[in-house]
Structures are given as structure tokens and as C-alpha cells.
């Protein structure tokens, strides 16, 4: 697929997803019974841990691929944070989710700083001392 075709496909997807979200909003039940619920959450958190570890390793090596991995970690963290908050029961569970969201927002910000920094040499000196 050429870059131009990819651009059009992505744009069409953006347009198609808006009415699809409206359909889902009107047709999905407000609650659901889910098998393997804990496995889904554990898997997502392990994905985040692996992504953070890989990003750190690539940063220590001044590898430009750290920017790509950091971008993916930021996206996954946004998804994790969103579902943590919107699936939490009111009360203590929601308060805990919101508190965790603060930490996750810091992770997202750090990952986006890495992803958007044009020079990999802008890595903090304390990270340069870490050997992997």
C-alpha cells in the first residue's frame, strides 16, 4: 500500500468510526458478563511493562526506535487508563482508578516527550548511566 493510499484509508476509517460509535452507543448493553476479565487486565499491564522496559533499553542505546515504542506505550496507556476509569464501580474503586490515572498520565507524558523529541541525544543524563 502506498503512503497516499494509506492516508485515504486512515481518513475513511476516521469518518466511518464516528457513526459506528453511535451505533454501538445505542445497541450495546450497559453491563456485560466477561470471561477471562482478569487475564485481559493482567495482559494489558504486562504489555505496558514490556513496552516501558523496551523503551528504556532503546533509550539507553540511543536507538531511534525508542520513539516508536514510546508512542505505542503512550497509546496503550491511554487505553488502559480509559478502561480503568470507565469500568470502575462508584466509590473507592473509582477513586483508586482516578488516582492511578494520575500516575498513568505522567507515564503518557514521559512517553510522548520521548516520542516527539527530534533528537535521541536529548535523553536525560541519569538514563544514559543505566546499562542494559
- Burial readout 94-120 (b: 16 or more C-beta within 10 A, e: otherwise): eeebeeebeebeebbebbbebbeeeeb
* pLDDT of residue 130 exceeding 90: no
94-111 pLDDT tens trace: 999 999 999 999 999 999
* pLDDT of residue 114 exceeding 70: yes
Q: What is the pTM of this model?
A: 0.80
Domain ranges for the chain, please list them. Answer: 41-132
CA dist., res. 8 & res. 14, Å (int): 10
Stronger pLDDT, 132 or 31, i.e. the higher one: 31
* pLDDT of residue 132 exceeding 50: no
Enumerate long-range contacts of 92-96, CB under 8 Å, 24 or more apart: none
15-74 pLDDT tens trace: 999 999 999 999 988 888 889 989 999 999 999 999 999 999 999 999 999 999 999 999
- Mean pLDDT of all residues in the chain? 90
Task: Give the per-residue pLDDT at 32.
Answer: 84
Amino acid at each position: 500500500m502506498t503512503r497516499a493510499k494509506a492516508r485515504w484509508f486512515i481518513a475513511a476509517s476516521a469518518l466511518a468510526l464516528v457513526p459506528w460509535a453511535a451505533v454501538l452507543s445505542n445497541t450495546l448493553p450497559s453491563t456485560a458478563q466477561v470471561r477471562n476479565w482478569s487475564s485481559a487486565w493482567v495482559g494489558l499491564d504486562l504489555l505496558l511493562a514490556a513496552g516501558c522496559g523496551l523503551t528504556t533499553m532503546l533509550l539507553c542505546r540511543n536507538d531511534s526506535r525508542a520513539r516508536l515504542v514510546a508512542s505505542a506505550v503512550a497509546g496503550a496507556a491511554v487505553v488502559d487508563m480509559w478502561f480503568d476509569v470507565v469500568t470502575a464501580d462508584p466509590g473507592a474503586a473509582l477513586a483508586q482508578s482516578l488516582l492511578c490515572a494520575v500516575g498513568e498520565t505522567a507515564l503518557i507524558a514521559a512517553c510522548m516527550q520521548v516520542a516527539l523529541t527530534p533528537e535521541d541525544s536529548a535523553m536525560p543524563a541519569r538514563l544514559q548511566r543505566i546499562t542494559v
